[in-house]
Structure 1
Amino acid sequence: MKSQLIGGLAALAVFTAVGGAVVAWLPSDAGRTSAAHVERPAPRRTSESPESESESDESSVSPSPSTTALPPSGPGTFVTAPGGSVRVGRGTPLRYRVEVEKGIPVSPEDVAAQVEATLADPRGWTADGHSAFQRVSSGPIDFTVRLATPATVDKVCAEGGLDTGGKVNCSVNHDVMVNLRRWVLATEFYTKDVIGYRSLIINHEVGHFLGHGHVSCPGEGQPAPAMMQQIKGLLGCVPNVWPYDNDGRLVTGPSVP
């Protein structure tokens, strides 16, 4: 991305004046969230929760938007990232569009670059041998990745029966909704790896779109699965944002109802 996020997010408070009110956003509330999971016909699944990990290779993607105005609500209309990407993965690609809500101080191109890099990573969902993706800006699509203000995320996610509480992301119908709060502040477990956490958000919510449900930590000291609700705690696992490891093995754990 084009601008750098000031370090020390664990102590960061982003203040913005909206309609005369000053809103303070602190990462300390990241661990408080409710769980919800709404089933849809496979492979479409609906989920609520933010996720993303570290050791990301997206070094060319800048860490964050400006720390100026970060609105808690927006108009609910979006700007589409222009251009597109090559196909990644095998098989017929799922075509997706990247959109950013109007009024958010984040470049749609920067968000698209992070999403593309995440979905193209060999540790991502293409490692399953049959998932493929291609970003487009026009024509028919299979799903949309949308970065939006907390209020807009809440509204869209509620259409799928989810209560995101202004704090988390969701996958509902054909929309992967990314909460601006999480995109900027990550969570307490990723204060030093915001870029990685963004990849976890994408991998977790796209994973739900592909039909994957929540899982838990497989064991003390093991990598936390991408489909684990890591925002609630790592339960002895270590941070990890990728669905697969470097050897192409699925990182998973016991299913969570």
Structure 2
Amino acid sequence: MGRHSRKGPEAKAPEAGPAPAEPGAGREGTRPAPGNGRRRRPGEAPQAPDGPAPFQGAPQVRGGHPEQREPGGGWGTGPAGRPGPPSRTEPGRTAGEASAPQQPQAPRNAQGTGTKPLIPGPRREFVEAFDAPAARPPRATPAPERVAPADPHGPVSDGGEQPPDSADGAPKDSRGGRGRTFTGIAAAAVTTVLAVVVAGQVAHDSGGRSGEAQAAGVDRDGTDGTSRSDDRNTPKVAVKPLSYEQKMAKAYPLAPKLKGSGKFTAVPGAAKAPGKGRKYVYRIDVEKGLGLDSALFAQAVQKTLNDERSWAHDGAMTFERISTGDPDFVITLASPGTTGVWCEKSGLDTTVDNVSCDSAATERVMINAYRWAQGSSTFGPDKLYSYRQMLINHEVGHRLGHNHVSCRTPGTLAPVMQQQTKSLDIDNIKCKPNAWVHPQG
């Protein structure tokens, strides 16, 4: 046990020393005049008659240990230069009368003499940092809408509530006012930057969308994905047009009882006769409102009639199409109702089987548009191309003076002038469908 904590009769100070504190006064009693803030070595303190005396000039605290203060760190900066050696008190003089090389400064919260102790007291912010109780962790404030913090694992602001630690109820931060200020400034800066970035992005998106919506002529509700697909170039798939053969093999919608306007339009253009035989000049009229491809129909007529398997076989004849002038006949594509009207002018009834005819009393060779668009059950849907060729050759054959002919040998190709739309089985003789006058070429 150190000699400063030894129990026993209180040590007596020299007669010239300061008066001892009254019993029960505690720390509030008059303290001895402060020294230079350093302990004396054991050999330096003057000895009392009864034993060693306490350090002269050091304030007394609980436990008998003098209060220690050192320059620098949390206790502030001491006087310039390194302090000199402690002064010794002379016999017969009090500690307050001892000469010192520097003027002592009063310690912080000291209630002794009015002189200043040698070393200044600690700075206030360091004392509060150790004296104040630990503050509660700040409560995170809700982040602004659509603004995420830069660090998802760190707080955005430092504005959480703290319990009052002082008499006036003001909250204290264990980090001090300066640290809280820096944290608030940093949080405000991060929030401001994020808000500016989000606002700029929203403005950019909304501007781009509105421009696209005006260009497309539609309104958009601003949803989306999913996918920002507006900025991507949509690949343009080139649709290859159908060939002539594909169009001729394709069925088209048309009602079997349709009756059109009865008004016709000549298909514009012309096609020269390719051969040197007997030339027949014709025009093609199409009833208005059918919705069929009139150019395809005109192309089919010209190709079929001048084919070597048709009436132009061996150069016997050739066919030329015109759109104006005086033709030999007019090949007319008309609705079933209009076809029936024109066929009736020549004493023919086409309404029973919904067929075509050559109205010999008129200039028109009538092609029933329903048969052209849908074909017949005798050929079926897979032979629609061939059926359309037969339909042209058969009706023009009537205009050239040929009558109906039936198949005489079972299993053979039916003659082109047989009524193949109605049946391929005549007089119990079943033949195969055929589109050509000279099928062998």
- Same fold per superposition (TM over 0.5): yes
Moved >6 Å (runs of 4+):
68-71
C-alpha separation in 2, matches of 1:217 and 1:241: 14
Letter in 1 for 2:364: D
Q: 2:307 aligns with which of 117, 121, 128?
A: 121
Q: Structure 1 residues 68, 222: closer, same or farther in 2, change over 3 A?
A: closer
Report how far residue 80 of structure 1 moved. Answer: 1.3
C-alpha separation in 1, matches of 2:251 and 2:385: 11
C-alpha separation in 1, matches of 2:410 and 2:276: 34
Residue of structure 2 in register with 1:241 after alignment: 435
Contact kept in structure 1, 2:257 and 2:337, CA below 8 Å: no
Report how far residue 220 of structure 1 moved. Answer: 1.3
Structure 1 residues not aligned, in runs of 5+ = 1-57, 248-257
Aligned partner of residue 409 in structure 2, secondary structure: coil
Report how far residue 65 of structure 1 moved. Answer: 6.5
RMSD of Structure 2 on Structure 1 (CA): 2.1
Could you state the TM-score of these two structures normalised by the residue count of structure 1? 0.69
C-alpha separation in 1, matches of 2:415 and 2:254: 33
Contact kept in structure 2, 1:226 and 1:242, CA below 8 Å: yes
User: Does the alignment pair 1:88 with 2:274?
Assistant: yes
Q: Structure 1 residues 187, 66: closer, same or farther in 2, change over 3 A?
A: closer
Structure number with greater CO (CA < 8 Å, separation at least 6) is 1
- Output aligned runs, 1:151-230, within 5 Å: 151-165=337-351, 167-173=354-360, 174-191=363-380, 192-230=382-420
Residue of structure 1 in register with 2:136 after alignment: none
Q: Structure 1 residues 164, 70: closer, same or farther in 2, change over 3 A?
A: closer
Structure 2 residues not aligned, in runs of 5+ = 1-243
Q: Structure 1 residues 69, 153: closer, same or farther in 2, change over 3 A?
A: closer
C-alpha separation in 2, matches of 1:208 and 1:230: 14
Aligned partner of residue 144 in structure 1, secondary structure: strand
1:1-57 Cα offsets, whole Å, 9 max, x none, are xxxxxxxxxxxxxxxxxxxxxxxxxxxxxxxxxxxxxxxxxxxxxxxxxxxxxxxxx
Residue of structure 2 in register with 1:136 after alignment: 322
C-alpha separation in 2, matches of 1:172 and 1:118: 20
Residue of structure 1 in register with 2:284 after alignment: 98
1:82-117 Cα offsets, whole Å, 9 max, x none, are 111120333241111111100001121111011111
Report how far residue 64 of structure 1 moved. Answer: 4.5
C-alpha separation in 2, matches of 1:96 and 1:229: 24
C-alpha separation in 2, matches of 1:76 and 1:126: 32
Deviates more, 1:172-181 or 1:206-215: 172-181
Letter in 1 for 2:379: Y
Q: Structure 1 residues 71, 108: closer, same or farther in 2, change over 3 A?
A: farther
C-alpha separation in 2, matches of 1:145 and 1:94: 12
| Bigger strand share | 1
Q: Structure 1 residues 65, 147: closer, same or farther in 2, change over 3 A?
A: farther
Report how far residue 218 of structure 1 moved. Answer: 2.7
Report how far residue 224 of structure 1 moved. Answer: 0.6
Contact kept in structure 2, 1:90 and 1:126, CA below 8 Å: no
C-alpha separation in 1, matches of 2:393 and 2:399: 10
Q: Structure 1 residues 147, 154: closer, same or farther in 2, change over 3 A?
A: same
Deviates more, 1:86-95 or 1:112-121: 86-95
C-alpha separation in 2, matches of 1:231 and 1:68: 17
Aligned partner of residue 140 in structure 1, secondary structure: coil
